[in-house]
Structure 1
Amino acid sequence: MREIMPVFETPSPNAPQPGDLALYVHWPFCVSKCPYCDFNSHVRDEVDQAAWRAALLTDLDHEARVLPGRKLQSIFFGGGTPSLMPPSTVAAVLNAAEKAWGFAEGIEITLEANPSSVEAARFADLASAGVNRVSLGLQSLDDQALKFLGRAHDVNEGQAALATAQNVFPRVSFDLIYALPGQRLDDWRAELARALSLGTEHLSLYQLTIEAGTRFATEALAGRIVIPDGDSAADLFEATRADTAAAGLPAYETSNHARRGAESRHNLAYWRYQDYAGIGPGAHGRRGGLATVRRKKPENWLAAIERNGHGMEVEDPLTPSSRATEALLMGLRLAEGIDLDRITALNAGIVPVDLAAVARLEALGLIAHTPGRLRVTEAGALLLDAILPEIVTA
């Protein structure tokens, strides 16, 4: 392993406060479907914007009625492509959310955006609507890679959109995908260095994975796409963590890197297993010990709104064991690790980990276990998927 600057091991000052609530809003529409994407996204020739605005507000009202007395600490508009939403719809959702719950001081309101010039032209209106953080899907700083990934923008258009976003929003993040077919380590490190020079305080860096049901899955099955093997992918992962840490944006989660205090407050709520409500097609929620899932297909979700006053398909109670397992699986992705006492409390007082396995992995330098806290070390981060089934017993 390369020597890597230490990441923080204690919760960031950006931490959500106990009792706060996060809200996720799903906008399912895209201009086109990317070949690697398995998200709930759909291409439609026409969208009845008035009907969609009304339906989102109805779905939100349902969640507000079952979750009274909370404060929103974050709102995240995901998709799909939420930057295709009319700013007036974003404003209507935010106004309704503030009226229903109230906003915590310093609330983070994030919207995912594509870096096209058309969508960048809406950034000022989205900021006026209340968005204060944007997550930009650049995906690559190489035109050939963008073409391979099925992106409609080129590098120049993407960087122009990033510059516009940085002028408009207080906080800006962007995504890159690496471990592409044939990608060499030196080429990725050069691209990453360029990304780090662009001045954002947060980066989401994902290795390309072939997801079932995507066009890339079909291409891979036919042998037309071959992603880097395990050793090459590991080298890319290690270099990514080393270079971002050296630049002052260490990994605070497996794929997310930020300056201290610039972490995504909304995503921390997920990884710290705090309550969040989800509205819109396919949106998931975890609130009050219940798992919620909205109907996935846009037309079915709209029909459910009309019929039931909400888009819910699933609202199931989670067992103590399920809650503890989910909290472990999410929290061990974080550099800070987990509050083991809290997770034990979720599991009716039963320690939800195999302490013998923890001791064995700690001796190998893959896990750090201190009173009340458990975390995966830098050396263990590369092996997270193998570590989790070894230690989780809940």
Structure 2
Amino acid sequence: MARALYIHWPFCLAKCPYCDFNSHVRDSVDVAAWQDALLADMRHEAELAGGEPLTSIFFGGGTPSLMPPRLVEALLAEAAKLWGFALDIEITLEANPSSVEAANFADLATAGVNRVSLGLQSLDDEALRFLGRLHNAAEGLSALEVAQKAFERVSFDLIYALPDQSPEHWREQLEHALGFGTSHLSLYQLTIEPGTRFETDVRRGGFTPLDDDLAAHLYQVTAEMTSAAGMPAYEVSNYARPGEESRHNLTYWRYQDYAGIGPGAHGRRGGMATFRHKKPENWLGAVERNGHGLKQEEALSRSDQASEALLMGLRLGEGIDIAALSARVDMPEEALLRPSMMQQFGGMDLIWRKGNRVGVTPKGMPLLDAVLAGVIEDDLLFA
């Protein structure tokens, strides 16, 4: 049974050059049509994955803060009717820090949103221009102030390891960020994703990504500063005060079931993977034809489930209960993790084990992809 619900709003005012998310720019959006379609998609999913009160809802995108508050309110009212809400439900909405969107924060809070994830991305105007953002630093900080007054919980994103970024520059940025007193930060190293404008720019020599060794040093700086501020890493790129972790994202990383609706949304229910049509117009057409936006449902093999659980769970500071996973997928532990590599990486302080729990050490987190490729059995990595 799904305990979490993801709602995708695919529209943005502009496509950022680093972004590979399912986001689209449109001249206009028929809000009434989108409301009807999202409600229909939600009802279909609730029929298959209902029965338990929701503990979290996440509006992702795209730019969900472009959604009219009345639409958010209608979707939350329907979700409450279909599933019911846990008393302490976390309802997060991703937001951009434009003045137009910040003006809606109070109404979004009234609609039921109690946590916002704000896409500041940088506190430096030059970096914001490089990242293709539509706001400047002053506008971002103003939106953060409005958000902290409107919502119970506030997180914001920053992107670092930019070309030629020095440790001193990042320390200054992060010290400034930690001074705002939010309970959660998402701090991402710039990654050149396939199919993005930045990939084209790098290929054409427009800029050179930061050296890997320097990027790893900036990661260590990040870990040290956040830990000293009482916000240790609980996932490779996420930092929070104890108890303020994103419950919704923990659902993914702990490999629990969740429902996903809207264009391109993925879901997991009862060993099934669900995929919805990605292009907004295709998703709308599917809902009109079928009453839902599903493109595909796929039964996951034991190997598929083991692979997903490991790749997700080993991102977490808490690691994964390998004995519980072994029982869940009915596979012996040695078929999940290579004993020889576990021993080797353990000796290098890249992997830890305490009883049944296995995790990646702080030293190993900057090398996460290589560590995972080393310890997870090939049959699972390429399942």
Shift of 1:215: 1.1
User: 2: distance between equivalents of 1:383 and 1:113?
Assistant: 30
Per-residue CA deviations over 1:13-61 (Å, capped at 9, x if unaligned) read xxxxxx6611100000001111111110000001000000000000000
Number of residue equivalences: 376
SS of corresponding position for 1:378: coil
Per-residue CA deviations over 1:276-307 (Å, capped at 9, x if unaligned) read 11000000111110001100000000000000
Partner amino acid, structure 1, of 2:137: V
Aligned 8 A contact 1:20 1:73 in 2: no
Partner amino acid, structure 2, of 1:311: G
- Counterpart in 2 of 1:196? 178
Alignment partner of 1:280 out of 233, 239, 262: 262
SS of corresponding position for 1:107: strand
Per-residue CA deviations over 1:56-82 (Å, capped at 9, x if unaligned) read 000000000011312211000000000
Per-residue CA deviations over 1:302-347 (Å, capped at 9, x if unaligned) read 0000001110011000001110110000000000000111211232
Aligned 8 A contact 2:2 2:269 in 1: no
- Identify the range of structure 1 (290-299 vs 353-362) with the bigger mean alpha-carbon deviation: 353-362
- Counterpart in 1 of 2:356? 372
Per-residue CA deviations over 1:338-374 (Å, capped at 9, x if unaligned) read 0111211232142211122112211221111122110
User: 2: distance between equivalents of 1:48 and 1:188?
Assistant: 42
- TM-score, length-scaled by structure 2: 0.97
Alignment partner of 2:314 out of 316, 323, 332: 332
Alignment partner of 2:245 out of 263, 277, 280: 263
Alignment partner of 1:382 out of 366, 369, 383: 366
State percent identity of aligned pairs. Answer: 62
Alignment partner of 1:109 out of 91, 97, 122: 91
User: 2: distance between equivalents of 1:201 and 1:213?
Assistant: 33
- Counterpart in 1 of 2:67? 85
Partner amino acid, structure 2, of 1:331: G
User: 2: distance between equivalents of 1:234 and 1:256?
Assistant: 16
Aligned CA RMSD, in angstroms, stands at 0.9
Alignment partner of 1:184 out of 150, 166, 171: 166
SS of corresponding position for 2:364: helix
Partner amino acid, structure 2, of 1:293: F
- Counterpart in 1 of 2:296? 314
- TM-score, length-scaled by structure 1: 0.94
User: 2: distance between equivalents of 1:370 and 1:141?
Assistant: 39
Shift of 1:270: 0.4
Matched, 1:342 2:307: no
Per-residue CA deviations over 1:92-131 (Å, capped at 9, x if unaligned) read 1111111001111200000000001100000010001000
Aligned 8 A contact 1:277 1:285 in 2: yes
User: 2: distance between equivalents of 1:100 and 1:361?
Assistant: 47
User: 2: distance between equivalents of 1:38 and 1:348?
Assistant: 35
User: 2: distance between equivalents of 1:359 and 1:222?
Assistant: 43
User: 1: distance between equivalents of 2:35 and 2:29?
Assistant: 11
User: 2: distance between equivalents of 1:139 and 1:286?
Assistant: 29
User: 2: distance between equivalents of 1:285 and 1:193?
Assistant: 37
- Counterpart in 1 of 2:58? 76
Aligned 8 A contact 2:15 2:23 in 1: yes
Aligned 8 A contact 1:254 1:334 in 2: yes
Per-residue CA deviations over 1:164-188 (Å, capped at 9, x if unaligned) read 0000100000000001111111001
User: 2: distance between equivalents of 1:392 and 1:104?
Assistant: 36
Aligned 8 A contact 1:202 1:259 in 2: yes
- Counterpart in 2 of 1:4? none
The gaps in structure 1 that reach 5 residues or longer are 1-18
Alignment partner of 1:353 out of 337, 343, 346: 337
Aligned 8 A contact 2:97 2:139 in 1: yes
User: 1: distance between equivalents of 2:36 and 2:327?
Assistant: 40
Alignment partner of 1:293 out of 272, 275, 279: 275
The gaps in structure 2 that reach 5 residues or longer are none
Aligned 8 A contact 1:33 1:43 in 2: yes
Alignment partner of 1:95 out of 59, 77, 80: 77
Alignment partner of 2:31 out of 36, 39, 49: 49
User: 2: distance between equivalents of 1:341 and 1:317?
Assistant: 23
User: 1: distance between equivalents of 2:376 and 2:128?
Assistant: 39
Aligned 8 A contact 1:323 1:346 in 2: no
SS of corresponding position for 2:106: helix
Partner amino acid, structure 1, of 2:368: L
Partner amino acid, structure 1, of 2:338: D
- Counterpart in 2 of 1:150? 132
- Identify the range of structure 1 (137-146 vs 352-361) with the bigger mean alpha-carbon deviation: 352-361
- Counterpart in 1 of 2:202? 220
Per-residue CA deviations over 1:250-287 (Å, capped at 9, x if unaligned) read 11000000000110000000000000110000001111
Matched, 1:119 2:104: no
